Amino acid sequence: MRLYHYPYSDNSRRAVMTALHLDVPVEFVLVDLRKGEQNQPSFLDLNPNHRVPVLEDDGFILWESHAIMQYLADKTPGQTLYPTETHARADVNRWLFWCGGHLTPAVGILNREHFIKGMIGLGGPDPAEVKRGEELVCEFSGILDKHLACREWICGSAPTLADLSIVTPFTGLLATRAPEKLPIGMFANVQRWLARIQTLDTWQKTTVTLANPSEV
């Protein structure tokens, strides 16, 4: 089994964290986005979307990070990251879809304005877009904060795929880019949850830093 990834990709990180947490015997294959390896014909045969991560398992090719997370969990007997009970699994799925449909795009606006545009020569941040991104991040972080008011983890009493998924949109600006650009400091429950996530071995093993973020 191979997992194609890039260490500075937030989507890759959630899949890699899942594989490490489950102790899946997987070969990690680097796809260097800086060199455009995601555009090479050999990679496009795996994922025509030019994106990481991609999982290859005995001829079965799977892209989309949440699908990969679920697949790895389903392949692992006795795992606790992805419950099998119907209601508990639906709860995790709800937060995975929420992350993909709401939180990740919101944080993505700030990533683009504060980081990506400058990296690819599209100029400085657009104040209107920054404001829109900040409002959306605050809206969805507020929802998460309220949910975490009486919980240590998003679903249940231990980490699940929901935690590994939802933490990753925050990681780019928090860890390698510009944490002051992410307006979540007022959300105390989210801050406590982030601190708990950072004690996980899988978080520490997948944390990368950059002396110069423009190198990504």
DSSP 78-128: T-SSS--SHHHHHHHHHHHHHIIIIIHHHHHHHHIIIIIHHHTT--S--HH
CATH number for the segment(s) 2-74: 3.40.30.10
What pLDDT, on the 0 to 100 scale, is given for residue 175? 57
Q: Are 161 and 73 in contact (CB under 8 A)?
A: yes
Q: What is the mean pLDDT of each run of 10 residues along the chain (216 residues)?
A: 93 96 96 92 95 97 98 97 97 98 94 82 92 96 97 96 95 65 91 94 80 37
Q: Parse the chain into domains and list their residue ranges.
A: 2-74, 86-204
CATH number for the segment(s) 86-204: 1.20.1050.10
What pLDDT, on the 0 to 100 scale, is given for residue 189? 97
